[in-house]
Amino acid sequence: MNQSVHLLPKKAEGSKPVKAVKAPLALRVPTRTNDPDRTMAGILEVATVEFGEKGLDGARIDKIAAATQTSKRMIYYYFGSKEGLYRAVLEDVYRRMRAIESSLHLSDLPPIEALQKLIGFTFDHHHSNENFIRLVMSENIQRGAYLAQSKSIQDLNVPAIAAIADLYNRGIAAGVFRAGLDPVDIHASISALTFFNVSNQHTFGLIFNRDPASPQAIAARRASIGDMVLRFMLA
């Protein structure tokens, strides 16, 4: 039988324990987890809040590292840089939104019902994801510089326009929607109305002495936006 090989010498009776010598910091490799996808997902989740609250310039990588129990070197290992993480966050929030949209199965619904469901979803998503709104606002301050570097952002958003084009064309064929509208413009109108409701809620509420966050105000605004877009499109 082969004898086992001891990596450290046996402790002599009465002697002090032998301590393992750590490699210098510069020589250490980032510790990999057994589930890198889960680690990256956790980093993205925390980074979404950090970048959403403070923007690209104000966000701190060391704070993200501490909250995820990782290290700055691990974050850079996965995402390359602070800017790389910011870009990954932008892609992730759009990917999540489009994934939920695809689960709505709008093509299975009559055109008007499909439109109402899409508007309601967009309103609810924006209302429940203020950091998404903040991130989009932050990237607009950057003039879209980091989304322009993304290789996937346009492909991620193609299905959203395709879904609107489908329900719109079905609505024209059924005689319920007027012709001559652009699906991208319809998308822009829905986005503008539901986006403003979150992005300007604090200033709007203060200026007009109203509480836009009350359940009654939210329900009324949701219904109003749905009615405006539908009336705009009806034949």
pLDDT in tens, 107-132: 999 999 999 999 999 999 999 999 99
- At 223 the three-state DSSP class reads helix
Please tell me the class of the 33-233 domain.
mainly alpha
pLDDT at position 59: 97
pLDDT of residue 24: 41
Tell me how far apart the terminal alpha carbons of the chain are, to the nearest angstrom: 88
Q: Phi-psi category of 71—alpha, beta or left, where left has phi over 0 and alpha has psi -120 to 50? A: beta
Nearest to 39 by CA among 79, 94, 11: 79
The two tokens of residue 159 are: 């299905």
pTM comes to: 0.82
pLDDT in tens, 167-216: 999 999 999 999 999 999 999 999 999 999 999 999 999 999 999 989 99
